[in-house]
Structure 1
Amino acid sequence: MLATSRDRLTSHGWRRVPIDHLPGDRAVRVLVEALRVGDPDDDRVSETEGLARVARACAGLPLALRVCAAVLAAAPDMTADELADTLEASATRVLRLGDGSRSLHAVFEQSRARLAPDTAELLALLGLAPGPDISTAAAAVLAGVTEPEVLERLRALSVAHLVSGREGRWRMHDLTAGYAASLCGGDEAPERFVRARRRLFDHYASTADDARLNIVALSGQRTPDTFADRAAATRWMDAERAVLIDTVHVARELGETRTETDLPLYLNTYLKWRRDFGDLEDLQWIAVRASQRGGDEEREALSWDHLGAVLRATRRFEEAMDAHVCALRLYTELEDQHGEAVSRSGLGAALNGERRFEEAIDVLRGSQAMFARLGDVLREANACNHLGEALREVGRYAESVEAHQRARGFYHQLGEVHREAKVWVNLGAVLAREGRFTEAMEAYERARTMFQGLGDTLEVVRTETGTATCLRGLHRTDEALAALDAVVGFLVEERDPHHEGLARYELGLTWAARGDAVRAIPHLERAVELLAENNDPYLRDRAAEALVSARDSPDPVG
């Protein structure tokens, strides 16, 4: 005997055979066969792409596919693309589709009717949850019960095939989620649902703040005991990343100003570290606008500064300057000297990016002095480091080394190993600019060792580009070429196009220095493209000049 059920059959003697969602090609085949049964001459069976879109909207669920086939059969003038457009607009539209005798909505209603009341309530509450999944802990907060209590209900939903769970996280299929969301009342949600969503948003914000404090904590600094250490906080952020980002977007749609402004702040350092600049920029813009809407000038200024830092990271320095100037204006009006110093430091870094070094030096010296007066050693170190970069670019090498050494000393004192390693990279760049290649290599080696100790492989590899520059300066071209080949390969895999452009530029220069223009030219051509695409016009022009020289080489080796 074969029996089918949405519930899991557990009685003795039953052998369970789970039927999963149909893959794309099989789902399309179901639609095609159903259309042919209704009309052997139905030419919509050839609308392959449209039928594939319908199948995706149905998530491979056999009943949904049958219902959609019936809808097409009842409307011979409707194309598969037209139906797909309707379905893709909203999961709830799939739920409402029917052929007069059956609908997905009715199936879900029957499943819900068999649930215990508290489990049925949890199903509705899960329709409020942002993101692709939810942890057991967050589900408990949402339901306002203990974790053991919510776990029992989640397992009951799993038995009914309404959720699936793995490693403490639970997710619903898009169609199930659409049904669950339809139970919450939309804009007219009952007060208990509003309170539940508020609890969940507050939980995400407070836990993200605790995680942030663990991640940014200086050596020996006390942190919230929510997480055992920085690694545990980072693991939580990794697991909740998509949920937290979606929470901000949902909060924006709902006008939840507190969540709109708080969560981007708490996610700032983590998302920068993960190099998720696209999401981070979106979140900071949301925070800026929410702060403006709420009249919170202090939070608006902070959000402008964070936005400026993201724009600097993506090499959009002119926009970054505008953001930092907005922050500076607000902090000045608020008579917040510390905030003003932070904005000046960011502005100086953006001026560096725009190669307006003399202006940057003036701004950064002022910022450094303000931090020194206020006793903020960490941010004074940041300003010193930016200052050292500006001084290097105007040829004031001794002052540059002094500024970097001051920053390095502060970072070492604070236990800021990653930042200290970055300063060693900058010191290597100054020494290499002076032609002190052996000393520069020693600085790069210190940085590389520190990055290795932190497990930051990307920075280890980036540092090798500087080392290779020194090897070329010491006429050790074979070693330089081997190092740069490895660097380029790694950066291609990591999708780090700007640093790939820098490495290819160095690789092209090294082949040219060896007299092999044929091998230099492809790397220089690619470097020009990458540096142009990643907003580095200065080095793009240098690479273009090197490319012209290589092409004009009288006797290239090939």
Structure 2
Amino acid sequence: MTAVNDFGSEMRYLRQRKGLTIREVGRQVFISYSMISKYENGQLLPKSDIVQRLDDLLDGGGALVGRAREVALSAPGHPSPATGLPTTTRHFVGRNREIGELLKILTPSGALMSEPAGVLVLHGAPGIGKTALAAWVARLLLPRFEHGCQFVDLHGYTEGRAPADPGEVLDRLLRRLGERPEALPADVEELAALFRARTADRELLLILDNVRSTAQIQALLPDGAQCRTLVTSRNFLSALDGVPRLSLRPLEPDDADTLFRLVSSTSDTDGYETADIARIAEYCGRLPLAVRIAAVRCGPDSQLAVSRFAGRLADEYARFRELDDGERSVKAAFEESRKALDATERELFALLGLLPPEIMEVAAVAALSALDLPVAERGLDRLVDAGLLIRVDTEHYVFHDLIGAFARLAARDLAGPHSTAALRGLLDHTVRSCSRADSLVTPGRRRFPPPPTSGPEGQDFEGYDHARDWLAQELPALVALCRTAYEHGFDEYCWMMAFHLRGVFFLGKHWTEWEESHAWALAAARRSGNAVAQAATLNNLGLALVCQGQLDLASDRLTEAADIAGAAGDEDAQCTARSHHAWVMHLRGEHERALAEEAATLAYYQARGRERNAAIVLRDMAAIEIVIGRFDDALGHLTSALDVFRAIPSPLDTAMALNCLAEIHLQRADLVGAWHGFADAFDVASLGTIAFERARAQHGLGRTAAAHHDNTEARRLLKLALSGYTSLSAREEVDHVRADLAALAA
């Protein structure tokens, strides 16, 4: 190594610590990036003025200037060569943030926690690139350590090989440090004491790679104040108290794309392959090991086209067969981690493969596994520690995409009765929880009792806010479970879950999820021959379509619901279909006919003491009456409805009614009454986190301000309404607000 090499290593170290790319450095010092690359690779030494500019830019503090003055390989402080360090990969990309963190912490003068001295754990999933990153950083750090680097693979998860024995590792390290083999003690504790003594005064970087457990490395940690130890492991190594840890995540999308192109020799100009490469990277979960294998499979010596290989990876269960190049296998890497679990943990891992690939809640996992909540949580945390699961927060976990696919493969090995019982326990818990939550979010709705159970009764909720927040947070997983229930033949759970999600769908205007879940629910109800379930599901589907303005399709659904309900003698479902159909008539301009239909449904609900249902009909009648100018009738109906909604209480219904009431004041040019009415609706909607009604109130306030000729305030409020409606994909309302804003600008 020459002084030029020393300079290049120092420059690369400072650049990556600063988090800059070669191109960014070149731009800031007005030099081509190819010249910067030559400086770092030891091909060229820059002139003194450029050295000073680089030192200033990279916060070198004179380090680059000093390196530029070194002229001999034997200069004081020159590092010893690395021992055992694997060859640096030709295609290392990304990880700038992680490199910067590691350089800051592992530099001899860096700030490290003192117990144990100078240790950092780099942990992450199998195949995520821990070893490659450690080797890369070690070479950057070599100039900073007088006595070089020692790298040891402890084979914690090497297929077909037992984890390295600490005594054998100590023996090897001491011989590397110059100890005579015949002078080495046999006892591990004595070897450890000798290693600590020999490293006490050294400036040494120790890399302990592929560690299985804390016990494997406890005796290998040096005590020297200027020693630094980088440990890589799939395991969190929680027994290493008080040490900093860095969790390695998948590559960024651009970095995964670059890695694939470099390894496969695919040109950046091959634009037609860009989408396929992005698909491959995502199928690989952006794990470096998987991306490298995929790239080799698509390399210049392969007859396999990128597009064709992307198609093969689309099949989740064939994916692991494809991510195997004969010498490296993603599945084998994952399997080593699974084998390291105990029997209970392996079973839990396989059970998690029964879940859809959304974020999973601890309570749901407990129901799935028939474990007590604390036991389930400990099991999940163990999987996190093993690098097989990611903790999202205290209540939620998620798989890395590729590990989730591996878990779903493992779930196939579960005995049929076992997986069926596990899913039944999960679905029973979930349906009961949804039913309880929905009864708080939309009280007074018709309820269907869940199937009898001997298991847990589902979650309890403290009130409206708790129930609403739970439904909103868990919604992606709950919708996915509707499909899981359908695919595994749990028809009753499928349609019931969709039914109990209707309230939160309406609250958040989740049209896509509403239609998808109810499509599975309708298929399940038809497959089981349950007429009541079919009518209820069709009514909910019809309502979703009405709200989106798809009136013809909505009418078809509601007519079918009424026919099925009539044949089954389900008067409630018939009345619901009639009420929803009345709204279709209203939107088609048939206001009088709509009012007549609503009056009939109102009589039905009042006769049966169904106060909330009757109040909803009164509110709908008032909305129609406002359109045709019957303000007194509308006011009377809304006043009666509001009394019921407030007594329940039902924040959604209250906010909707208050917005209608304020509209009457605005139509009558009572701007004070309109302003207070919309403000009341806004307050209720905000407290209840009812986004649509909040935006509706802001729209009303903006229109009221415009009528008062306060254009500045009107514009502010209308823009807020536009933002709210846009976030809900409420296209018709967005158009109305834009028209009002345009009128202000005219």
TM-score by length of 1: 0.81
Q: Taking structure 1 as reference, are residues 352 and 147 closer, same or farther at Cα in structure 2, changes over 3 Å only? A: same
| More helix, by proportion | 1
% identical equivalent positions: 20
1:56 aligns with 2:56: no
Structure 1 CA distance for aligned equivalents of residues 635 and 623 of structure 2: 9
Q: 1:27–1:55: 8 Å Cα contact kept in structure 2?
A: yes
Amino acid at match of 1:123: F
1:373-388 maps to which residues of 2 (within 5 A)? 373-388=607-622
Query: What residue number does 2:399 align with?
Result: 172
Q: 1:7–1:159: 8 Å Cα contact kept in structure 2?
A: no
- After the TM superposition, which of the residue ranges 300-309 and 228-237 deviates more from structure 2? 228-237
Residue in structure 2 matching 1:103, options 321, 329, 333: 329
Query: What residue number does 1:16 align with?
Result: 231
CA deviation vs aligned residue, 1:385-432 (integer Å, no higher than 9, x gap):
111222333333332333223323333343334423322322333344
Q: 1:163–1:170: 8 Å Cα contact kept in structure 2?
A: yes
Q: 1:485–1:507: 8 Å Cα contact kept in structure 2?
A: no
Structure 1 CA distance for aligned equivalents of residues 362 and 671 of structure 2: 56
Structure 1 CA distance for aligned equivalents of residues 667 and 326 of structure 2: 78
Q: CA deviation at 1:54?
A: 2.4
Q: CA deviation at 1:51?
A: 3.3
Query: What residue number does 1:182 align with?
Result: 409
Amino acid at match of 2:382: A
1:348 aligns with 2:582: yes
Q: CA deviation at 1:494?
A: 4.8
Q: 2:389–2:398: 8 Å Cα contact kept in structure 1?
A: yes
1:500-539 maps to which residues of 2 (within 5 A)? 500-509=734-743, 511=744, 519-520=745-746
Q: CA deviation at 1:264?
A: 0.2
Query: What residue number does 1:430 align with?
Result: 664
Amino acid at match of 2:440: N
CA deviation vs aligned residue, 1:113-168 (integer Å, no higher than 9, x gap):
22211211122111111232322222222222223333333233223211122323
Query: What residue number does 1:399 align with?
Result: 633
Structure 1 CA distance for aligned equivalents of residues 479 and 667 of structure 2: 42
Query: What residue number does 1:515 align with?
Result: none
Flag the structure with larger Rg: 2
Q: 2:691–2:724: 8 Å Cα contact kept in structure 1?
A: no
Q: CA deviation at 1:366?
A: 0.7
CA deviation vs aligned residue, 1:405-463 (integer Å, no higher than 9, x gap):
33233333433344233223223333443455554444434434443554546534422
Q: 1:488–1:500: 8 Å Cα contact kept in structure 2?
A: no
Query: What residue number does 2:571 align with?
Result: 337
Query: What residue number does 1:315 align with?
Result: 549
Query: What residue number does 2:74 align with?
Result: none
1:486 aligns with 2:701: no
Q: CA deviation at 1:346?
A: 1.6
Query: What residue number does 1:304 align with?
Result: 538
Structure 1 CA distance for aligned equivalents of residues 469 and 692 of structure 2: 19
Q: CA deviation at 1:229?
A: 2.1
Query: What residue number does 1:152 align with?
Result: 378
Q: 1:465–1:506: 8 Å Cα contact kept in structure 2?
A: no
CA deviation vs aligned residue, 1:331-382 (integer Å, no higher than 9, x gap):
3333333333322222212221222111101101111111111111111111
Q: Taking structure 1 as reference, are residues 431 and 200 closer, same or farther at Cα in structure 2, changes over 3 Å only? A: same
CA deviation vs aligned residue, 1:184-216 (integer Å, no higher than 9, x gap):
227x95321222122222222222222222323
1:113 aligns with 2:339: yes
Query: What residue number does 2:209 align with?
Result: 4
CA deviation vs aligned residue, 1:293-345 (integer Å, no higher than 9, x gap):
21111111111111122112212233223322222223333333333332222
Query: What residue number does 2:592 align with?
Result: 358
Amino acid at match of 1:252: Y
Q: Taking structure 1 as reference, are residues 156 and 400 closer, same or farther at Cα in structure 2, changes over 3 Å only? A: closer
Give 5+ residue unaligned stretches, structure 1: 37-41, 512-518, 521-558
Structure 2 CA distance for aligned equivalents of residues 185 and 331 of structure 1: 40
Q: 2:357–2:404: 8 Å Cα contact kept in structure 1?
A: no
Structure 1 CA distance for aligned equivalents of residues 285 and 213 of structure 2: 21
1:268 aligns with 2:502: yes
- After the TM superposition, which of the residue ranges 73-82 and 5-14 deviates more from structure 2? 5-14
Q: CA deviation at 1:245?
A: 0.9
Q: 2:368–2:423: 8 Å Cα contact kept in structure 1?
A: yes
Q: 1:468–1:481: 8 Å Cα contact kept in structure 2?
A: no
SS state at 1:255 partner = coil
Structure 2 CA distance for aligned equivalents of residues 367 and 44 of structure 1: 65
Q: 1:288–1:300: 8 Å Cα contact kept in structure 2?
A: yes
Q: CA RMSD in A?
A: 2.9
Q: Taking structure 1 as reference, are residues 99 and 331 closer, same or farther at Cα in structure 2, changes over 3 Å only? A: closer
Structure 1 CA distance for aligned equivalents of residues 442 and 607 of structure 2: 23
Q: Taking structure 1 as reference, are residues 31 and 396 closer, same or farther at Cα in structure 2, changes over 3 Å only? A: closer
Structure 2 CA distance for aligned equivalents of residues 259 and 296 of structure 1: 12
SS state at 1:310 partner = helix
- After the TM superposition, which of the residue ranges 203-212 and 141-150 deviates more from structure 2? 141-150
CA deviation vs aligned residue, 1:488-533 (integer Å, no higher than 9, x gap):
3442365143223222333344x4xxxxxxx33xxxxxxxxxxxxx
Q: 2:348–2:369: 8 Å Cα contact kept in structure 1?
A: yes
1:287 aligns with 2:527: no
Structure 2 CA distance for aligned equivalents of residues 32 and 452 of structure 1: 49
Q: Taking structure 1 as reference, are residues 197 and 416 closer, same or farther at Cα in structure 2, changes over 3 Å only? A: closer
Amino acid at match of 1:28: D
Amino acid at match of 2:723: V
Q: Taking structure 1 as reference, are residues 316 and 484 closer, same or farther at Cα in structure 2, changes over 3 Å only? A: farther
Q: 1:163–1:173: 8 Å Cα contact kept in structure 2?
A: yes
Structure 1 CA distance for aligned equivalents of residues 362 and 310 of structure 2: 34
1:166-245 maps to which residues of 2 (within 5 A)? 166=392, 167-185=394-412, 190-217=416-443, 226-245=460-479
Structure 1 CA distance for aligned equivalents of residues 276 and 627 of structure 2: 57
Q: 2:562–2:573: 8 Å Cα contact kept in structure 1?
A: yes
Q: Taking structure 1 as reference, are residues 81 and 146 closer, same or farther at Cα in structure 2, changes over 3 Å only? A: same
SS state at 1:4 partner = strand
Q: 1:388–1:399: 8 Å Cα contact kept in structure 2?
A: yes
Query: What residue number does 2:366 align with?
Result: 140
